[in-house]
Chains A and B, each alone.
Chain A
Amino acid sequence: MPVSAPDKDLTPSGPVKPQGKLDFIHLDLPLLVGLLLLCGFGLIVLYSASGQDLGQVQRQLARLGFAFGIMVAVAQIHPATLKRWSPWLYLVGIGLLVAVLVFGHIGKGAQRWLNLGFIRFQPSEMVKLAVPMMIAWFLSEKALPPDWKRLIFSLLMIVIPVLLIFKQPDLGTSLLVASAGIFALFLAGISWKIITASLASLAALAPALWFFMKDYQRQRVLTFMNPESDPLGSGYHIIQSKIAIGSGGIYGKGWLNGTQSHLEFLPERHTDFIFAVLAEEFGFIGIVILLMLYLLIIFRGLYIASRGQDTYSRLLGGSLILVFFVYLFVNTGMVSGILPVVGVPLPLISYGGTSLVTLMAGFGILMSIHTHRKLLPT
């Protein structure tokens, strides 16, 4: 790759005045507006999906408030500080994952929670941030693209927590953590040869993965292949979800008028399947608006990452926003029947607080990256 001289305007020339209106509290306005719109829309859908339960809406609102608080707090931390913490956060995360496997409380047939006495804590959520931070830190130590040694080490650093989470078992989270690390590698510029080669070997290894799956995970894959084969069992979710979406049509049945969701045909309708409720009540138009909002946030995130001042910020910011996309795509793909059922919530809209805090912390990092720049190229 030809080396171009850093001759233009990239030399630091002292602190530059912030340009964003909210830079004084290190928030990015476009991202904030996008997030607020999305969460607002989410609350409206949740009110309907929960069976007009104001209590649930209030609890979700409280969680959102808390998560936004976390976002604001994280945004104040300088990327350099985050970078310094990265290896330690990673090590603590691995330690906690091991602890979960050993002492974890058993819930829903999977061990995910760690009871710290005063708070129930899901280490895998922390690892969602720690892994891309670690990879970004590790790769940014040396010039990009990484050499073979760094690539192998990076992969190891990804695989260890992924396997630990997969053992819990939590397919959705392990998928998200793996993708976070891999996105960092991808953005670091590993060669296309390696990418195609690993995609090919992944395809070859897929059958081997089958043997590591738990029965319910295998069932999900089978059901995905042919949901009608088991309409009352595991195929039920997908069939009912498709009915909800399809019967919504272009304009939807109207807010609070979704029959599939209100008559309880739709399972998990306020959590993982809330997208189907939205599709049923707001129709194709509502879906397009929602996806455009997501797209807006994702592109803003990619923009922020690409404008990052150092490699660490860019890699971390880029992989965080891409993980956000993976959330979106895995969830909507599952609900609309183009992907198998994997327990991933619709980001910022599904009821529940665990992933919300992690996601908002991620947006806090993005905002921090954008607002802590020492210079702002025009």
Chain B
Amino acid sequence: MLRTQIKDYLVESQLFLGRAVIAGFVVTLCIGLLILQMMKLQITGHDHYVTLSQDNRVKLVPLPPVRGLIYDSNGVILAQNQPTYSLEVTPEQVTDMDSTLTELSRLIDINEEQLTRFTRLKSQKRRFESIPLKINLTPEEVAIIAVNRHRFPGVDIEAKLLRHYPLADQTAHVLGYVGRINEQELQIIDNSNYAGTTHIGKNGVEKSYENNLHGKVGMQRVEVNATGRTIRVLEKHQPVSGDNLHLHLDTALQKIAMDAFGEEIGAAVAINPKSGGVLVLASKPGFNPNLFVEGISTSDYQALQSSPDKPLFNRTIRGQYPPGSTLKPFVALAGLETGFATFDDKTFCPGFYSLPNHSHRYRDWKKTGHGWVDMNDSIVQSCDVYYYQLAHDMGVTNMQEYLSHFGFGSRTGIDLGAELPGLLPSREWKRRRHDKPWYPGETLIMGIGQGYFLSTPLQLAAATAAFANGGVFKAPRIVSHIEHVNMADSTEDIGTIEKEIPKKRIAGKTGTAQVFSVKQDEEYDEEKVSKKNRDHALFVAYAPVEDPQIAVAVIVENGGHGGSVAAPIAKKIMDAYLLSPEQIAEIQAKQENTL
């Protein structure tokens, strides 16, 4: 055909033009489609995408508040926040974890336990969260890591405030400690207020005053980039620091009490009878609460747990002991109040007591008996028979009812958690608990603070304080006042107590609590009974008699007789509280001379 042979420029040109027009049309159509899509995104969907873009770039970051400080009554700091450095590793940024850990342990000392803990935490946390490998770095270690840090991506030195208790074991049982928030605590805390907080009070004052100490969380709205790095702060609400606490506790006195125990185990509580303020709350032995702050190592914890001395056990509020003869003044007072006894009524003590028509002999500690004793003699000589008689006369119900006014058998309501109530037995209690009637003999031994009767050292001290305070029971208090840090002036003055009264007279009563019961015709021989089964030594006292300012209860576990072990501890506490240092020195000098 001719047409295929000869190229027809016009036809081809028109053919092309036709196709070019179609192409131009399709191009316009596609651009139109694109513009439609842009309208959909930029006009119709604008609000939606603005929200997404805001969510993308703005993050709320909680600013944890600084935990409140704790001071004793003299302004000595008991709990503070110390800047510490820790070595943290972010798994996400580490290319080879094993070699990084090996290299790091070549630079600084990292032990097996820290590695184990790190591995455990690593499996619990998300990959982009940093995990502490070693805490409390020394300045040398910080320097070594800082110099070599470029070699370890994902390894950082983190500076943070760590709770520190300068007096360590001296105040451990009062303050308790803080530790990392655990699963159960996560359920109960206010999640928004604790958004940036890692630690929470686990026990002691740290726990019971958690709400005051914690403070209010701050927030900042920050612009972040895709990797989560903060670019700038858009808005900031400063956190409100936790309140500072001022305690009634006198750490000088607390130290004297702790030291006075020496190697003995026990508890001492001293209370200001007028205010109920707790001056001393010593549970011996103590423990180092600083170990718990960043998570105690397993070996340390096992050592504390398995120690026969039970250092973690707060004897002052959880140790329940028979009060023994220290109860006698209270029983005597009950007798006076209920009219079953007077100051001058006398009871004959032959060395034992038997219930009417019974042959069982309830023994007095003094085998030969005290003869005729009035109330004064009964307390001074600690005559058991006098109290058997009085208890029998009063009956268990009267006695129980009256003793309960001194706080026995119920929690004192001290501002520390985990307090135990002790045990003030009654007929109803026995029926309920043991499903048995009350036997008259049980009334007798209750009269000398034995049997079912149990009280905590704190209860004894509080009861003694009530005794000293003319029978007015005050719930013991650890914290004297709360200082709002962000307010200019503190609310209360801590009055210094007058200490210049010479020659104080002390009213005190010793006690011995049986751990090991002696059969009817056996002798209690201190030498033969093993240390663990020896009697507990107790002593309660207040001073000065004329104007009581301190009430003390001391218990020395397995200490034998109260007078010889427990009383000197109480005396040291009271001397230190009431006398000037010169007077104490004078007394000590005199004692040495007489010896």
Interface residues of chain A, those whose CB is within 8 Å of chain B, are 1, 3-4, 6, 10, 142-145, 147, 183, 186-189, 240, 242-250, 259-260, 262-265, 279, 283-284, 287-288, 291, 294-295, 298-299, 302, 305-306, 308, 310-311, 314-315, 318, 322, 325, 329, 332-333, 336-338
Contacts and interface: CB of A to CB of B under 8 A. Distances in A.
A283 B46 CA distance: 10
Contact of A325 (B10, B27, B227, B231): B27
Given A187-B23, A243-B49, A265-B57, A283 B42 contact: yes
B203 to A, nearest CB: 43
A238 B52 CA distance: 13
Contact of B56 (A144, A263, A306, A337): A263
Given A143-B12, A329-B34, A187 B20 contact: yes
Given A244-B53, A265-B57, A143 B8 contact: yes
Contacts of A10: 9-10
B57 A337 contact: no
A314 B13 CA distance: 8
13 contacts: A6-B10, A143-B3, A143-B5, A186-B23, A189-B12, A259-B53, A263-B231, A284-B39, A305-B16, A310-B9, A336-B37, A337-B41, A338-B33
B17 A243 contact: no
B30 interface: yes
Nearest to A309: B9
B57 A145 contact: no
B497 interface: no
B503 interface: no
Interface stretch (B162-170, B218-226, B411-419): B218-226
Interface string B543-583: 00000000000000000000000000000000000000000
Contact of B50 (A249, A284, A338): A249
B53 A306 contact: no
Interface string B1-42: 011111111111101111110011001101101110111011
Contact of B224 (A1, A4, A246, A263): A263
Contacts of B39: 284
B41 A187 contact: no
B83 interface: no
Given A145-B15, A244-B53, A336 B226 contact: no
B35 A143 contact: no
B192 to A, nearest CB: 26
Nearest to B225: A263
A291 B31 contact: yes
B49 A302 contact: no
B13 to A, nearest CB: 7
B127 to A, nearest CB: 13
Nearest to A324: B27
Given A3-B11, A243-B52, A247-B46, 7 more contacts: A6-B9, A6-B10, A279-B42, A302-B20, A318-B19, A322-B23, A338-B34
A247 B53 contact: yes
Given A242-B49, A247-B53, A329-B30, A311 B43 contact: no
User: For A262, A279, A284, which residue has the most chain B Cβ atoms within 10 angstroms?
Assistant: A284
Nearest to A241: B41
A199 B189 CA distance: 65
A291 B50 contact: no
A337 B16 contact: no
B437 interface: no
B34 A306 contact: no
5 interchain residue pairs of minimum CB distance: A246-B49, A247-B53, A263-B225, A264-B226, A246-B41
A243 B53 contact: yes
A332 B32 CA distance: 12
Contacts of B23: 183, 186-187, 302, 318, 322
Nearest to B44: A246
Interface of B: 2-13, 15-20, 23-24, 27-28, 30-31, 33-35, 37-39, 41-43, 45-46, 48-50, 52-53, 56-57, 223-227, 231
A246 B12 CA distance: 46
A324 B127 CA distance: 45
A308 B15 CA distance: 13
Nearest to A267: B226
A263 B223 contact: yes
Given A284-B39, A291-B35, A322-B23, A243 B56 contact: yes
B405 to A, nearest CB: 69
Nearest to A295: B31
Given A245-B49, A336-B38, A284 B27 contact: no
A260 B17 CA distance: 44
B42 A284 contact: yes
Contacts of A318: 16, 19-20, 23
A376 to B, nearest CB: 14
A3 B3 contact: yes
A242 B33 contact: no
A55 to B, nearest CB: 21
Contacts of B12: 143-144, 189, 311, 314
A311 to B, nearest CB: 5
A189 B19 contact: yes
Given A6-B10, A264-B227, A298 B27 contact: yes
A231 to B, nearest CB: 11
Contacts of A189: 12, 15-16, 18-19
A243 B48 CA distance: 9
A247 B52 contact: yes
A247 B4 CA distance: 58
Contact of A287 (B7, B27, B38): B38
A248 B6 CA distance: 57
A137 to B, nearest CB: 14
B38 A306 contact: no
A186 B226 CA distance: 45
A4 B11 contact: yes
Contacts of B13: 306, 314
Contacts of A240: 56
B48 A336 contact: no
Contact of B225 (A248, A265, A306): A265
Nearest to A183: B23
Nearest to A4: B10
A299 B42 contact: no
A246 B52 CA distance: 9
A4 to B, nearest CB: 6
Contacts of A264: 225-227
Nearest to B17: A306
A280 to B, nearest CB: 8
Contacts of B16: 144, 187-189, 305-306, 308, 311, 314-315, 318
A250 B52 contact: no
Nearest to A246: B49
Contacts of A243: 49, 52-53, 56
B93 to A, nearest CB: 17
Contacts of B6: 143
Contacts of A308: 16
A26 to B, nearest CB: 22
B300 to A, nearest CB: 42
B27 A247 contact: no
Contacts of B35: 287-288, 291
Given A4-B11, A284-B43, A287-B42, A263 B30 contact: no
Most A C-beta atoms less than 10 A away, residue of B6, B12, B45: B12
